[in-house]
Chain A
Amino acid sequence: MPQKHGVQPIESWLARPRLEATLLGPGWRFSALTVMIVGGLGGIWPVAALGASGSGVFAAFVNGCTATATASLIWLPPIAFLCIGRDTELGVRAIEISLGLGPRGLQARGWWNLYGLAFAAMLVGGFAGVVGGVVTNVSAPGRFSVGLVGSVGAAQSGAALSALIVVALLCGSLVEILGDRRSSLIAIWGTQLLTLALLSVLYFAPTLAFAQYLSPWIGIWPLRASSSMSPLFSSQLSYGAGGVALAIWIVAIRIVAAIMTPRRVSLPSSKERQE
């Protein structure tokens, strides 16, 4: 006989407090609104700024997803902290520990949540792009279609998706290393701003080109001098050199994170649990 108020499966019970802890934490609203606005602009952009006569519905979805993934440098850091760095707010970690999850399990759950939310946010950005694209077809009437007319190419979408995966990896790793929210956000956004500042002076001081390798974000920087209309804020590294630099940075950050993370997650011993 089915129980009306029976015990819920552990998985769903665990997922819900984690989601609530994430959505009630600081910064999620900023991320959510940024995702929607950037995704919506992705749907609007081809007609508004590139002279396209119209945008297809699926194209707006693809463009919204691509824009959201490309801008993940901005909106992902707060979510990364909420998924991985937030330790004991609302007793979520205590619940998980009491259910017998070890350090690896806790870590894996944090990463699972981070990537789940990152991809969900990308899809939300895609739907925001559809809203933007459809309304744009009303305000600036053009060639309306359902298909992929006006969408970015597969290469650009793939690059944006890769950037999202890498940004999540880097942000999560930096949060693991640094621990608290303020340090994590300052480190992530601060290094992004420094990269931006470096690229802004690079056009006038080419001798600083080597300094690009000092930024972990350079490999996934969305503006490239070869494909951008303006050299300002554009990276001058080739895709190969940028990829190599990125790989080295990922390995280095992961090694540091692997060394430092177990110190932060300290589970109570079996004796302490019994007490």
Chain B
Amino acid sequence: MILALREARAVLGRRAIRLALVVTVLAVLIGTTRVYSGTLDLSPSLFALATSDDQSRYIALIAAAMLGAEAGGLWHSTLRSSYSWVAGSSITQQTLQRVSTGFVLGVLCGIIYWLSRVVGSVITIIGSGHDLVLRDAGLVPIDSSAVWRLLVACGLAAATGALIGTATRRPLAAVAGSFVLFGSLLPIVGSFAARVPAIVSIQSFAPGGALTTLLESNAGISKASGLIALRSPRSAFGGAAVLLSWCAVLWVVSTFDTVLRSSSTSVSSRLRHTGLAGVGVIVAIALVLPPLAREALPWHLQPSWLEAKSRHASSIDVVKSFVASVSHGRYPVGLVPPKGIDVSDPFWAPLIQGAVVIGPQREMSSPSSVPVVATVRTGSRHTTVGYSFDLEPQGRSWRLRKVNGAVLRVVNGHTG
């Protein structure tokens, strides 16, 4: 812990870091005062105003992640890794130290955020001519757990950022990488999501989205304040699982990279690290690929269709039952004919008299439209009639909605 604090102080000593923190504070101050200065008709308490929910907390999370990334990347560029190696620290110990440094920096970033919020709230209240009350039941809802939850979130974001820095080994690349991975929290991404819905799915599995899910769903907050309506996973457990998976993958990548660059020839350590890398890749693929791939599956590979087929309750099975019932002049139990269908109508005669081919599935463009072809032979004359059965889902089965029919072709004479 002392090492982490010392390392955090060294990181904060850099001019770029201080500049980034100043920019963050200014952004929070401006954001807080701008949001509330025009809307304070009543006099809220300082605590309620400072902890109220707004979008500036995402700025704090992104800043924390970038700060952690800078710390993780600096580790290599300032030769601290070499000092640790000389001091006898193992790769795991070094990585743990970087993660704890990132966590400390993140919590520090969160504290600065809350202080900025308090200052901004004081300016807002006094500037709007109200009395300064520390704690009172105002109109703005008080979320007492928001303070420590944001601190933890900033710590986790910075720890993840430190792992990104460890994996990339360059401060600039680490900061850019963490901005890409956490930048989905920015309001502008929400406006893109309206046009490209897939962003919502991707956002849910990005570290920033996972962090938001972890903190704001199932956690007792009055309302989820995510800028983007997260679809999956929605539970705090899911968010934690996604975030931990990211951390595991980043850890494995950084460890694997370190091993590749080291001169160690230990067989067991190489095996272990390669195994960890493989498992990390598999977990990442298994978390991301199946939900996205399932949505992209064609209709005949969707689980609902396969399940209906296994129960013989697909639209093709319903049409088969209907055609069989028309042929036999009666309907099976449970099959209700559509209104207005009269099986004595000549329209249905080819289905009764001819050779009928239903489907097949590969010729269907959707499950709600089943083609049926009936070929009637009268002497040397072959008449082919095509039907299109339109159906609509009803519970776990399908219901006939409309049937269209037309003569496709008439062939005179014997066919080869």
Contact = CB atoms under 8 A, between A and B. Distances in A.
Given A23-B270, A32-B278, A40 B286 contact: yes
A139 B287 contact: yes
Given A41-B285, A51-B303, A23 B290 contact: no
A19 to B, nearest CB: 7
Given A40-B285, A44-B286, A48-B294, A53 B306 contact: yes
B277 A33 contact: yes
Interface residues of A, number: 32
A171 to B, nearest CB: 21
Interface string A41-54: 10110011111110
B297 A44 contact: no
B301 interface: yes
Interface string A128-167: 1001110110111010000000000000000000000000
Contacts, number: 92
A212 B306 CA distance: 36
A139 B290 contact: yes
A115 to B, nearest CB: 20
Contacts of A49: 293, 297, 301
Which secondary structure characterizes the binding site on chain B? helix
Contact of A140 (B241, B285, B291): B291
A128 B279 contact: yes
Contacts of B279: 36, 128, 131
A20 to B, nearest CB: 5
A194 interface: no
A122 B267 CA distance: 20
A37 interface: yes
B282 interface: yes
B288 interface: yes
Contacts of B286: 40, 43-44, 131-133, 135-136, 139
Instruction: Indicate the member of B270, B278, B291 with the most A CB atoms within 10 Å.
Output: B278
Contacts of A32: 271, 274-275, 278
A29 interface: yes
Given A33-B277, A49-B293, A23 B271 contact: yes
B278 A36 contact: yes
Instruction: Indicate the member of B290, B293, B302 with the most A CB atoms within 10 Å.
Output: B290
B111 interface: no
B196 interface: no
Given A32-B275, A37-B278, 19 more contacts: A19-B267, A20-B267, A23-B270, A40-B285, A40-B286, A44-B289, A48-B290, A51-B294, A51-B297, A51-B302, A51-B306, A53-B303, A128-B279, A131-B279, A139-B233, A139-B288, A139-B291, A140-B291, A142-B303
Instruction: Identify the 8 closest CB pairs spanning chains A and B, nearest first.
Output: A36-B278, A40-B282, A135-B286, A51-B301, A140-B290, A48-B293, A48-B290, A53-B303
Interface of A: 19-20, 23-24, 29, 32-33, 35-37, 39-41, 43-44, 47-53, 128, 131-133, 135-136, 138-140, 142
Interface of B: 233, 241, 265, 267, 270-271, 274-275, 277-279, 281-283, 285-291, 293-294, 297, 301-303, 305-307
28 contacts: A20-B267, A23-B270, A29-B274, A32-B278, A33-B277, A36-B279, A36-B282, A37-B278, A37-B281, A41-B285, A43-B286, A44-B285, A44-B286, A44-B290, A49-B293, A51-B301, A53-B306, A131-B279, A131-B283, A131-B286, A132-B282, A132-B285, A135-B283, A135-B286, A139-B286, A139-B291, A140-B291, A142-B303
